[in-house]
Amino acid sequence: YPTVNAADFHSEPAPAPARTEPVAAKPITATDGDIQAAFSTSLRLLEQHMEAAASQGRPLSLNPTALSLYRSLMTMHRDVLTQLDGATREEARYLALQAKQDSIELARQQAAAEAAALKEKALQQQREQELLAKLQLEQKMKLIEAQELEKQEYQRALE
């Protein structure tokens, strides 16, 4: 490829870049995809014009189509960079939200595990209470039976 100088494209001094406010990040839409496709196509066309000018030995600054493509590419380049910046911010936001969602899911799982452990502990305590009540009832029944036997023996002895 021939060397391209900015002077080949501009006869007047380049205008100072306009100050722009930060653009809010937005997801890539079909329009954004169209801009990216147009950028790629324009870049390929400019390369073809550069090759043609180099093979014919003509300066690129005399080719109005190449100059127009160059200006269009400069404009689209800003748009593509803005899209890239927005996409990067959206990706960072998405990753942060995904990390929060993962931590929330982990907390839910831990809470569910703790709730299951507490439920199991409560059931175990209930089983132990029932077993203790059953043992106490059996002891009471044995005591009543022993007292009943004693009473019967006492009545036999009196007879």
Tens-digit pLDDT profile for residues 15-27:
444 444 444 445 5
Residue 139 structure tokens: 């002891």
Tens-digit pLDDT profile for residues 60-73:
788 888 888 888 88
Q: Is the model's pLDDT at 51 over the cut of 60?
A: yes
Closest CA to 47 of 19, 66, 26, 75: 66
Tens-digit pLDDT profile for residues 27-44:
545 466 777 788 788 888
pTM of the model: 0.45
Residue-wise burial string across 75-102, b where 16 or more C-beta atoms lie within 10 A, e elsewhere = ebeeebebbeebeeeeeeeeeeeeeeee
The predicted pLDDT at position 4 comes to 47
